[in-house]
Amino acid sequence: MGASSDQNLNNPGQILTLSLSLSPPASLSPPASLSPPASLSVSPDRSQFFEFESVSLSCEVQGNSTGWRMMRNAERGNLSECSTDWGKHQGSSCIVSLTPSSSGVYWCESGSGEHSNAVNITVHVGAVILEIPALPVTEGDSVTLRCRYQVTPSDLTAVFYKDGSLIRAESSGEITIPALSKSDEGLYKCSSSKGESPESWMTVTAEGSTPSSSLPPLSSSLCLSLGWWLLSPSL
């Protein structure tokens, strides 16, 4: 995602050209490393939640865990740590009671600037979400994606999409990918008679690979919000 202008923005009447992609700005991504010193775990392991649900986030640190903290970069670019204006420490975990403002990017960070892998979490106020892993899944494994409802309808039929293209409809409201490959990586969503879920990215990694500290692509809605933040003159 990036912004460019052919003119000086301080001059009135000139045009700003904004281009958005599904990749985050470099400033929002923890620095990449081949072997992060910590990994972020998410329970339940989902990218999407309804408002008022809870999620537990914890840092699994190699060696001394002193000084590590849970960080969030929310949709409007508000960078903060657990137990400031969100989340509550419970042992080594951060428990987050979710509201729409909880949507954003989460990761672990040390006092010296080291980072874990990062995950996107989306809190949806609509009637439908997609149950999809927040953490990377492994090639060869099986994964089930499920359309989930605030109020369970009599007809569970859901239609599933990947990267904007139709996969298929399922009367059970869920779809199973039996043996994952790298080609299954992408943006997924579902829709039904009750509405449509947000899109979320599913990362597929090779067996035995180490979680990356780079950030997966953001959903289009999160990109637009972050684009607003980057261009806001008040920030």
Q: What is the pLDDT of residues 200-209, one digit of tens each?
A: 999 999 987 6
Name the residue with higher pLDDT: 35 or 78: 78
Q: What is the pLDDT of residues 110-132, one digit of tens each?
A: 988 889 999 999 999 999 999 99
Stretch 14-29: mean pLDDT:
39
Q: Are 32 and 212 in contact (CB under 8 A)?
A: yes
- Count of beta carbons in the 10 Å neighbourhood of residue 199: 26
pLDDT band at 33 (very low <50, low <70, confident <90, very high): very low
pTM: 0.75
pLDDT number for residue 217: 56
The Cα–Cα gap between 8 and 219 comes to 30
Rounded distance between C-alpha atoms, residue 153 and residue 227, angstroms: 36
pLDDT of residue 212: 55
Q: Rounded mean pLDDT of the chain?
A: 80
Q: Say yes or no to pLDDT of 219 above 90.
A: no
What is the percent of the chain where pLDDT is above 70?
73
- Phi/psi at 61 (nearest 5 deg)? -105, 135
pLDDT of residue 29: 44
Is pLDDT of 213 > 60?
Answer: no
Q: Are 119 and 135 in contact (CB under 8 A)?
A: yes
Q: Tell which wins on pLDDT, 64 or 190.
A: 190
According to the model, what pLDDT value does residue 77 have? 74
Q: Write down the pLDDT at residue 232.
A: 39
C-alpha to C-alpha distances, 31 to 53, 102, 143, 201, 212, nearest whole angstrom: 30, 23, 29, 20, 10
Q: Identify whether the C-beta of residue 138 lies closer than 8 Å to the C-beta of residue 185.
A: no
**166, 99 in Cβ contact below 8 A?**
no
pLDDT value at residue 210: 58
